[in-house]
Amino acid sequence: MNDSIPSVLPTVDAHIYPRGALDVLSRDEVARLRDASGGGMHELLRRCALAVLTSGSASDDPRAARELYPDFDIQVLQQDRGVRIDLVKAPATAFVDGEIIRGVAELLFAVVRDLAYTAIELRNGHGNSRDLNTSEGITDAVFGLLRNARILHPIDPNLVVCWGGHSINRDEYLYTKQVGYELGLRGLDICTGCGPGAMKGPMKGATIAHAKQRHRRMRYIGITEPGIIAAESPNPIVNHLVIMPDIEKRLEAFVRIGHGIIVFPGGVGTAEEILYLLGILLREENAGLPFPLIFTGPQASAAYFEQIDKFLRLTLGEAATSRYQIVVGDPATVAKRMSSGIRKVREYRISEKDSFFFNWSLEIPLVFQQPFAPTHEAMAALDLHHGRKPHELAADLRRAFSGIVAGNVKEDGMRRIEQHGPFKIHGDADMMQSLDALLRAFVEQRRMKISGAYRPCYEVIA
């Protein structure tokens, strides 16, 4: 028996008629989605659509799906009675008896919806574009995208964001399921980065608990961005997909809609998320704002969190440790503490007259919101030295990890590495030694890639 992937995979041509959140599009939106020129949206639409049509893929190479389905195409057509989506040579795995799987169709509609909104609302120089050069304008843009995706609902706080790696071992994955199960028993919904591994496990565990509790309006929200969706295609449990324009708006979306965050073992992407959140929470403006943050994993992952904790103490100082707690090998305790923390969030929102569904009170400075382009020059220029304010250092450390993520799994970043060699990261000797040890541990524990040997896209220089 030959288990290798066939050179030609079965495909399907289909006409899809969206319903619900994608009833109609304007002529301008359709034209932009069909525009195949250099500045058009069609190629981006094609890449994102193929990612959701291969939902559940075990590859983290953004080019893999396009190599398997080189002739795939998608067209959005405006008709008198609404919108029609034409799929050409789409993956047959997204269909059953000639009909597209309903959950896959919903994710596909979300791709078209979010890219259409981005094309019109967030393009500078357009009549409806927001001022993306100010902190308030960026937050308003994040709110607009989330509202357009219809995931902002005035219900009691119950949304737990779960961060963690797409490349984790079996024990860690089972542990994320157990934590999700305990959260679901307590009526808590789940939001993740929408991919496999630690992004899928909590959702899978919560589905069983929600079924036991007869919880009928469960939310499994996946938030991604175009540069990473092909490397982390949505897992099949996601029932609300949102595609943000870039990683910075994706991170802001997490902390604006989440009422607490759980961090499971992961790699550089998880480290980036931790530094983003701590950098914000360490600002004086956010000192009194309750935001439960728990690092957790199975007993075997205790050393992982010890190393993360040591790195954070060295770089951000002891004050950073007051904003998180570490719980190892105890899913029920994690869920209890998160549930208790969210009750405090509810009380605070009421006292401050802040909304339950969007964390307006959280102050996020512009340095955390502006998109970072990880060029070799920008990575080498990061200021990774002691003596800076913790939140300022956190911002540049976050960028360093973001650049490594780009070099690992984002097509533009991978192309830069292939052309110019690895990124060079400079800083104080002790900080670079700690960073290098952390990154080496990620490689040794296979947290960088799902399959195949890992070739570092970075060089740490003291």
**CATH number reported for the structural domain that contains residue 270 in this entry:** 3.40.50.450
**Beta carbons of 24 and 193 less than 8 angstroms apart:** no
What are the tokens at 113?
Answer: 């919806």
**Beta carbons of 427 and 148 less than 8 angstroms apart:** no
Phi then psi dihedrals of residue 167, to 5 deg: -110, 90
The answer to the question of residue 147 being in a domain is yes
For residue 226, which of 103, 399, 50 has the smallest C-alpha distance? Answer: 50
**Beta carbons of 338 and 183 less than 8 angstroms apart:** yes
The answer to the question of residue 134 being in a domain is no
**What local confidence, expressed as pLDDT, does residue 125 receive?**
41
The amino acid sitting at 442 is F
- What mean pLDDT is predicted for residues 223-238? 89
Residues 6+ apart with CB under 8 A from 319: 282, 390
Same domain for 446 and 317? Answer: no
Q: Give the CATH number, domain containing residue 111.
A: 3.30.1850.10
Same domain for 308 and 389? Answer: no
Neighbouring CB atoms inside 10 A of 150's CB total 13
If pLDDT is split at 50, 70 and 90, which confidence band does 58 have? low
For residue 358, which of 367, 366, 349, 348 has the smallest C-alpha distance? Answer: 349
Same domain for 321 and 378? Answer: no
**Beta carbons of 202 and 179 less than 8 angstroms apart:** yes
Four-residue CA torsion sign, 17, 22, 28, 34: negative
Same domain for 360 and 371? Answer: no
What are the tokens at 247?
Answer: 């990683």
For residue 244, which of 349, 151, 375 has the smallest C-alpha distance? Answer: 151
Neighbouring CB atoms inside 10 A of 317's CB total 14
The answer to the question of residue 89 being in a domain is yes
Same domain for 191 and 276? Answer: yes
For residue 234, which of 207, 242, 270 has the smallest C-alpha distance? Answer: 242
Same domain for 115 and 150? Answer: no
Neighbouring CB atoms inside 10 A of 299's CB total 10
**What local confidence, expressed as pLDDT, does residue 60 receive?**
66
Same domain for 196 and 150? Answer: yes
> Is 4's pLDDT higher than 70?
no
> Is 222's pLDDT higher than 50?
yes
Q: How far is the C-alpha of 458 from the C-alpha of 29, rounded, in Å?
A: 39
- Alpha-carbon Rg for the chain, nearest whole angstrom, is 21
The answer to the question of residue 235 being in a domain is yes
Give per-residue pLDDT as tens, 90-127: 999 999 999 999 999 999 999 999 998 888 887 644 44
Give per-residue pLDDT as tens, 407-437: 988 888 989 999 999 999 999 999 999 999 9
Same domain for 372 and 355? Answer: no
Give per-residue pLDDT as tens, 128-165: 556 888 999 999 999 999 999 999 998 999 999 999 99
Which of the listed residues 366, 399, 426 is the one where a domain comes to its end? 366
Same domain for 356 and 374? Answer: no
Q: How far is the C-alpha of 10 from the C-alpha of 97, rounded, in Å?
A: 13
pLDDT > 90 fraction of the chain, expressed in percent and rounded: 73
Same domain for 67 and 214? Answer: no
User: In terms of residue numbers, what domain contains 257?
Assistant: 143-366
**What local confidence, expressed as pLDDT, does residue 340 receive?**
98
Q: Give the lowest-confidence range in 24-28, 168-172, 199-203, 329-333.
A: 24-28
The answer to the question of residue 429 being in a domain is yes
Strands 325-328 and 159-163: unpaired
Place of tokens 């006292």: 351
Which of the listed residues 316, 349, 366 is the one where a domain comes to its end? 366
Same domain for 158 and 218? Answer: yes
Q: Structural domain tally of the chain?
A: 3
**What local confidence, expressed as pLDDT, does residue 451 receive?**
64
Residues forming beta bridges with residue 348, ordered by sequence position: none
- CA distance from start to end of the chain: 52
For residue 371, which of 278, 250, 246, 270 has the smallest C-alpha distance? Answer: 246
pTM of the model: 0.92
Residue by residue, what is the 3-state secondary structure of the chain? CCCCCCCCCCEEEEEECCCHHHCCCCHHHHHHHHCCCCCCCHHHHHHHHHHHHCCCCCCCCCCHHHHHCCCCEEEEEEECCEEEEEEEEEEHHHEECCEECHHHHHHHHHHHHHHHHHHHHCCCCCCCCCCCCCHHHHHHHHHHHHHHCCCCCCCCCCEEEEECCCCCCHHHHHHHHHHHHHHHHCCCEEEECCCCHHHCHHHHHHHHHHHHCCCCCCCEEEEECHHHHCCCCCCCCCCEEEECCCHHHHHHHHHHHCCEEEECCCCHHHHHHHHHHHHHHCCHHHCCCCCCEEEEECHHHHHHHHHHHHHHHHHHCHHHHHHCEEEECCHHHHHHHHHHHHHHHHHHHHHHCCCCCCCCCCCCCHHHHCCCCCCHHHHHCCCCCCCCCHHHHHHHHHHHHHHHHHHHHCHHHHHHHHHHCCEEEECCHHHHHHHHHHHHHHHHCCCCCCCCCCCCCEEEEC
The answer to the question of residue 344 being in a domain is yes
Give per-residue pLDDT as tens, 325-335: 999 999 999 99
The answer to the question of residue 68 being in a domain is yes
**What local confidence, expressed as pLDDT, does residue 454 receive?**
83
Same domain for 80 and 188? Answer: no
**What local confidence, expressed as pLDDT, does residue 130 receive?**
66
The answer to the question of residue 110 being in a domain is yes
Distance of CA 453 to the CA centre of its chain: 24
For residue 362, which of 373, 351, 354, 374 has the smallest C-alpha distance? Answer: 354
Strands 189-192 and 159-163: parallel
